[in-house]
Structure 1
Amino acid sequence: MANKSVSGSLFKKMVTNGAINLKNNHKEIDHLNVFPVPDGDTGTNMQMTMMAGIKEVNNLESQSIIDISKILSRGLLMGARGNSGVILSQFFRGVYSEIAKIDNGSATVQEFIQALVGGYQMAYRAVMDPVEGTILTVVRESAEKVLREQPNLNSVEEVLHMYLDQAKETLIKTPELLPVLKEAGVVDSGGAGFIKIIEGWMMALNGQMLSEAEAQPVQQNVEHYHGAENLGSVDIKYGYCTEFIVKLHNPEKFTEDFMKNPLMQMGDSLVVVTDDDLLKVHVHTNQPGVALTLAQKYGDLQTIKIENMRLQHSTIMNTEGHKEVKKTEKPKAKFGIIAVASGEGIHEAFKELGVDMIIDGGQTMNPSTEAFVKAVEEMNADYIIILPNNKNIILSAEQTLDLCPDRSIRVLKTKSIAQGYSSMMAFDPTQELDQNIEDMTDIVSNMRSAEITYAVRDTEINGVKIKNGDFIGITKGEILVSTSTRIETAQKLLDDMIDEDREIITIFHGVDATEEEILAVVEHAKKLNPDIEVDLINGKQEIYSFIIAVE
C-alpha cells in the first residue's frame, strides 16, 4: 500500500536505511575518488557523517518527524567530515527547515517534496562557490524534477522513484558539467554516494530494512558509475582539508561573514554554517593553523580534523593508536622520543635507535592530534622530541605545543620514514636539547630519501606518464619516475640519489618486495658507488615496496 505521507517512524526508517546502504557500499564510492597512490575517502566521509547523525536519532525517544529531523540535522553537523559530508549535513538541515513548518505528525507528499527542495537550497547556500557537476547538481535537479511534477505525484513512493531516477540521470551527465570529471572519464563521487542514501530510502518504503555489513567490494562497469575505473588525478591548489566546530562565545553577535571573508582569501571549497551556538567550518587551505587561530577569536574549538586530500585514505583515518616501546615503569628521563611509523620491522628499527614511543600511522593512516597528546601525556621525560615522518602529520604533531603547554616539546619536521630514521642516527642522549635538534635537522637537510609504491590509475603528473599497475618512485614529495617493474623504478631513483660523495644507503623493504628485487636494488647501488655502505632492513611495511635513505 502506497504511503500518502511520511510519519516520524517512517522517516526514521528511511534515513537509517539510507545511511546503512551508504555504509555498506562506501568502498564503491571511495573508488571514484582515487589518486595514483592508494587513496579515496568520499564514501568514507559521507558514511561517517550519516552514521554520526543516525547515532543521535537512535538515542532519541520521540517519534515526531520534527524532532527526528532536527536531531538528525544537528548530529550530521557535528559529525560532518569532508566537503561532501558538510554538504550532506546542510542538505538535511534544509530538509529539517521545511519539516519544522508542518503542523501535524506527518509530512504530506507536497510537504515532503518541499523538504527535498529545502535540502538542495540549503546545501547551495552553505557553499561559497557552488560548482555544478557535483552532489549539488544531483540534489538540485532531482528536487526540481519532483517539484515540477508535483501535481502528478500522489504517494511518497512515486516521489522518490522519480527523484531517484533523476538523480541517476544527473549523475551520468556530471562529466559534461565539470571538465575535470570529463577529462578523467568519471562521475561525481559525492553524487554517487547521495544516490546510495536515496536507494536506501526506497528500500525502507518497500519494507526492505538493511543491517550493517562488510562494505561491498568495488563493482566495475555499473551503468551509472560508467568511467569510474578511469579516474586520474588533479592538481589541488590548497592541500589541507580543514574542518572544525567552534562553540561560540557570543552567538547572537556573530555573523558568518566574520569567518567567510578572511577564509576566502586563503583557500577554497569554503563552507561556513552556524546552528545556534555552534559554528561549523570546512575549507581547503594551505594554512590550517591560521584558520584555527582565527576561529579561536570567536569561541572554543570543539573538534578539529585536518587531512591532506591527495594522500590520506579515510577508511582508516580513525584507526589510530600508539605502542609503547618500553612498557616497564622508568624513572624520569632527560629525553623522550615519539615517532610515527607503520610496519613491524620499521617499529623495531626505530626502537633500536632509541625511540621511546611509536604512534602507529603514516601515509594512509594519519594519526590525530589527540593521539599525539595522549603519547605526550604518557611520556615521562624532561624534553620530548616528536618525529612525524610524514608531511601530512607535521601539523597534528605541532598542535601538542599549544595543547600541552606545560611540557617541553620539539617537533622535528621529518617528512618520511627515511628522514626520521636518519635523524635518529644523529641523536645523542648526552647532548643538550638544542644541540640534538641542530644535529638531527642537519642530517635531514643533507640526506636524500625516496619511496616506491604502485599506481592504481592511468594518468600523467609532472610530465611522468603513469599506467595502472606500474610502479612509481617518489622523492621530495613528487613522482620522479614510473616504470613497469619495481627494479627499474628503484634503479632510476638511485641514479638520481647516489653519487660518489654518498656514504650510506638504508633500504627498508616492504612485504611485497621479493628477494630478487632486493638484491637487484643493492647491486645497482653498489654499481653507482662501490664504496657505499648498504643497510638492509625488513620494514614489513604495506604501502611502499621500498623506502630508501641515502646519506
Structure 2
Amino acid sequence: MKLINGIQFADMVKMGAHHLFQNADYVDALNVFPVPDGDTGTNMNLSMTSGAKETAAHTGEHIGKTAQALSKGLLMGARGNSGVILSQLFRGFGKSVEQYETLTANQFAQALNYGVETAYKAVMKPVEGTILTVAKDAAKKAVEVSETEEDIPTLMAAIVEEAKLSLNRTPDLLPVLKEVGVVDSGGQGLVFVYEGFLASLKGEALPEKTVSNSMDDLVSAEHHKSVQGFMDTADIEFGFCTEFMVRLEEGKKAFDETQFRNDLSAYGDSLLVISDEEVAKIHIHSETPGEVLTYGQQYGDLIKIKIENMREQHSEIVGDNFTKEVPSKKAEVHPYAVVTVAMGSGVSELLKSLGASAVIEGGQTMNPSTEDIVKAIEAVGAERVLILPNNKNIIMAAEQAVEVLGIEAAVVPTKTIPQGMAAILAFNAQATVEENQKNMTNAFAHVKTGQVTFAVRDTSIDGVEIKKDDFMAIAEGKIILSNPSKEESATSLAKALIDEDAEIVTVIYGEDVSEEEANDLAAFIEAQFEDVEVEVYNGKQPLYPYILSVE
C-alpha cells in the first residue's frame, strides 16, 4: 500500500479512537499523582472521540480535507493538557497535508513530524518523558524509515514499535515515573491511537482491552473514583441544574428568604438561595425547571437564567453524544467579562459573588473542553474576556479557546480556586485585557493553596508513603502527608501553610464535610495563629473535603 486517501485515513482515525476508548481506564490508572483528578485517559478519549466524530461527518477521498476535519474536531473537543497536546499533534499533521488528495509513506511521516513541531511550540515548557517525547521519537523513526520504505502499513508498524520503545523509556526521563513504577499516561494513550491506526491499515481486529502483565503489580486498571463514577445516568433523580436570579420588585409578592427557600425545596435538591434587598440568586437541581422559574417570577423579573441537562453532562463523561450547554435564554451582553471554572455550587456562587460573570462547571475529573469554554464565553456575549481555568490541566484548553474566539481575550493562568479568587478581586473593568492579565496574575502569585483529598491507590511520592483511601494533605501542589484521619490531615495542612506573614485564611469545605467539622478546623487555626482572620465557606465541592487559601 503505497498511498492512502481520505476514506482510509478516516478509518484509521475511527480505529484509533475506538482502541483508546476501550483502554481509557487503563490510561487513567497510570497517572502518577494519586488524587482523583488525574484522568488523562478520559481526557484523551473524549478529545479523540470528538475528532473521530467530525472526521466521520466529513469523510471523502481527499485526505487533506479529512485531516482538516480531524483537526477541527480535536481542537474543539480537546480536554486537559493531554487532549490539547493530542489536538496540536494532529493540527500540525492536518496543516501539513491540507493540499494532498493522497499521501505517500514519506508524506505521512513528514506530516507526523510537523505535528510534533506544532505541539512543542504550543507547550510553554515542554517536558520530556511525556506524550511529547513518544510522539517525537515515533515521528523521527517514521521519517527515517520512509526514506527507504514505501509500504505505509510497514511504516506504521515501525511507528508503533518505536512509540512503545519510547514509552518504556519515559521513566528514565521523568524520575517521578520511575519512583512510582509506571510509564507516562499520555504517551500510553498515544500508543493506543497508533495501534488503532496500524490495525486499520492491516485490516486486523484489536482486542477489546489491552492488559500489560508488567504493570499488573504496579497499578490498578480500575477507573479513578469520580463524581460521575458513583452513579448511572438513569440514577440522577433531578436532571436539570437550574440557576437564575430574581430582580425583586415592589408590587410583587413580598420576598421572605426562608419561606422562598422552603417553597423551592419541594422542587428538587442541591438548593442554594442567596439574597439582598434587590436580587435573589437561586441554584437548584430540579426535574421541572419551568415550574421553578414560574414560582420565582412571582417576586420579580427573572435574569441570568441558565439550565443544564445533567443527564447529558453525565453521559458525555462516560462517552455518549450530547450538547453540554443548554441555556434556556440568551444571556445578557457584557462589555467585559471574567469567565472561570469550578466544581461545587457553593464555590461557583462564591466566585460569582466576587465578580465572575460566568462559572463553567468543571475541574477535577471533569475538565471542560475547548468547545465548552468557547460556548460559555459566547453565551455571556462579552466584547472582552479574561479566562481563569483554576486548574493546571485546563490552562491549555483555555488558551486554545482564546485562539478560536473572535474577540479580545486572554488567559489568567490560575491553577487553584484560591488563586482564582485572588485574581478576580484584582480585576479592573477600566483596564485593558493585557493590563488585567498582568495585574490578576501578580495578585494570585501571593496566595498559597492547600487541599485535602483522598488517595486512589497505594504509592510513594517524595518520601511520603500513601495508602489507598487515606486523606492526603497537599500544600502548593506537593503531598506532605497521608493520614487515615481527615481532621489530622486538615490541621497538619494548615500548620504547613500558615506562617507569620499570613493574614487571612479561607476554609472552603466540601460536600462530605459538615458545618460543625469546618468550624472546628477554623477554631483550631484561630487558636494556633492568633493574628490570622479565618473565613469559612460551604463550597459543596466533590472529592476535596477542604480547600485552604492563605494570604
Structure-2-length-normalised TM-score: 0.51
Partner residue of 2:133? 137
- The correspondence of residues 17-96 of structure 1 with structure 2, limited to 5 A, is 17-33=15-31, 35-60=33-58, 62-96=60-94
| 2:351 maps to amino acid | I
| 1:467 maps to amino acid | K
Structure 1 residues 201 and 476: alpha-carbon distance in aligned structure 2, compared to 1, 3 A threshold = closer
Structure 1 residues 543 and 126: alpha-carbon distance in aligned structure 2, compared to 1, 3 A threshold = closer
CA contact (8 A) 1:33 1:41 kept: yes
- The correspondence of residues 166-177 of structure 1 with structure 2, limited to 5 A, is 166-177=162-173
CA contact (8 A) 2:179 2:460 kept: no
Partner residue of 2:123? 127
Tell me whether 1:400 sits opposite 2:398 in the alignment.
no
Partner residue of 1:358? 284
Deviations 1:114-137 (A, max 9, x none): 222222222223333322211111
Match of 1:113 among 109, 112, 128: 109
CA contact (8 A) 1:42 1:82 kept: yes
CA contact (8 A) 1:464 1:479 kept: yes
Deviation of the 1:54 alpha carbon = 1.8
CA contact (8 A) 2:225 2:456 kept: no
Deviations 1:399-432 (A, max 9, x none): 2399399xxxxxxxxx89xxxxxxxxxxxxxxxx
- 3-state SS in 2 of match to 1:149: helix
Structure 1 residues 313 and 221: alpha-carbon distance in aligned structure 2, compared to 1, 3 A threshold = farther
What is the CA–CA distance in structure 1 between the aligned matches of 2:451 and 2:123, rounded to whole Å?
Answer: 38
Structure 1 residues 492 and 33: alpha-carbon distance in aligned structure 2, compared to 1, 3 A threshold = closer
What is the CA–CA distance in structure 1 between the aligned matches of 2:218 and 2:194, rounded to whole Å?
Answer: 22
| 1:114 maps to amino acid | Q
List gaps (5 residues or longer) in structure 1. 231-309, 379-385, 406-414, 417-448, 497-506, 529-539
Deviations 1:126-166 (A, max 9, x none): 33332221111111111212322335424212111111010
Deviation of the 1:358 alpha carbon = 2.7
| 2:44 maps to amino acid | M
CA contact (8 A) 1:325 1:351 kept: no
The alignment of Structure 1 onto Structure 2 pairs a total of residues equal to 373
What is the CA–CA distance in structure 2 between the aligned matches of 1:195 and 1:376, rounded to whole Å?
Answer: 43
- 3-state SS in 2 of match to 1:128: coil
What is the CA–CA distance in structure 2 between the aligned matches of 1:392 and 1:173, rounded to whole Å?
Answer: 45
Partner residue of 1:458? 459
What is the CA–CA distance in structure 2 between the aligned matches of 1:55 and 1:184, rounded to whole Å?
Answer: 36
- The correspondence of residues 9-24 of structure 1 with structure 2, limited to 5 A, is 9-24=7-22
- 3-state SS in 1 of match to 2:106: helix
| 2:43 maps to amino acid | N
Partner residue of 1:100? 98
CA contact (8 A) 2:6 2:102 kept: yes
Deviation of the 1:201 alpha carbon = 0.9
CA contact (8 A) 2:2 2:105 kept: yes
Deviations 1:410-462 (A, max 9, x none): xxxxx89xxxxxxxxxxxxxxxxxxxxxxxxxxxxxxxx9977455343458x
Deviation of the 1:93 alpha carbon = 2.2
What is the CA–CA distance in structure 1 between the aligned matches of 2:81 and 2:545, rounded to whole Å?
Answer: 32
CA contact (8 A) 1:175 1:187 kept: yes
Match of 2:199 among 197, 203, 218: 203
CA contact (8 A) 1:171 1:224 kept: no
What is the CA–CA distance in structure 2 between the aligned matches of 1:335 and 1:478, rounded to whole Å?
Answer: 46
Partner residue of 2:442? none
What is the CA–CA distance in structure 1 between the aligned matches of 2:492 and 2:143, rounded to whole Å?
Answer: 60
CA contact (8 A) 1:40 1:313 kept: no
Deviation of the 1:57 alpha carbon = 1.6
Deviations 1:259-306 (A, max 9, x none): xxxxxxxxxxxxxxxxxxxxxxxxxxxxxxxxxxxxxxxxxxxxxxxx
CA contact (8 A) 1:38 1:313 kept: no
Structure 1 residues 542 and 127: alpha-carbon distance in aligned structure 2, compared to 1, 3 A threshold = closer
What is the CA–CA distance in structure 2 between the aligned matches of 1:9 and 1:404, rounded to whole Å?
Answer: 39
CA contact (8 A) 2:274 2:282 kept: no
Deviation of the 1:63 alpha carbon = 2.5
Partner residue of 2:241? 322
Structure 1 residues 101 and 314: alpha-carbon distance in aligned structure 2, compared to 1, 3 A threshold = farther
Partner residue of 1:160? 156
Structure 1 residues 356 and 207: alpha-carbon distance in aligned structure 2, compared to 1, 3 A threshold = same
- 3-state SS in 2 of match to 1:63: coil
- The correspondence of residues 224-373 of structure 1 with structure 2, limited to 5 A, is 321-322=240-241, 347=269, 356-358=282-284
Deviation of the 1:60 alpha carbon = 1.6
CA contact (8 A) 1:17 1:200 kept: yes
What is the CA–CA distance in structure 2 between the aligned matches of 1:57 and 1:168, rounded to whole Å?
Answer: 26
Partner residue of 2:176? 180
- 3-state SS in 2 of match to 1:62: coil
Deviation of the 1:210 alpha carbon = 7.6
What is the CA–CA distance in structure 1 between the aligned matches of 2:471 and 2:181, rounded to whole Å?
Answer: 22
| 2:157 maps to amino acid | H
What is the CA–CA distance in structure 2 between the aligned matches of 1:121 and 1:225, rounded to whole Å?
Answer: 34
What is the CA–CA distance in structure 2 between the aligned matches of 1:457 and 1:480, rounded to whole Å?
Answer: 15
Partner residue of 2:2? 4
Partner residue of 1:483? 483
CA contact (8 A) 2:63 2:97 kept: yes
Structure 1 residues 489 and 81: alpha-carbon distance in aligned structure 2, compared to 1, 3 A threshold = closer
CA contact (8 A) 1:336 1:355 kept: no
Aligned-residue sequence identity (percent) comes to 33
Structure-1-length-normalised TM-score: 0.51
| 1:389 maps to amino acid | G
Greater Cα shift, 64-73 or 143-152: 143-152
| 1:322 maps to amino acid | C
Deviations 1:153-184 (A, max 9, x none): 24212111111010000011112112333343
Structure 1 residues 162 and 348: alpha-carbon distance in aligned structure 2, compared to 1, 3 A threshold = closer
| 2:459 maps to amino acid | D
Structure 1 residues 226 and 116: alpha-carbon distance in aligned structure 2, compared to 1, 3 A threshold = farther
The root-mean-square deviation of aligned C-alpha atoms, in Å, is: 6.0
CA contact (8 A) 1:450 1:474 kept: yes
| 2:38 maps to amino acid | G
What is the CA–CA distance in structure 2 between the aligned matches of 1:388 and 1:348, rounded to whole Å?
Answer: 8
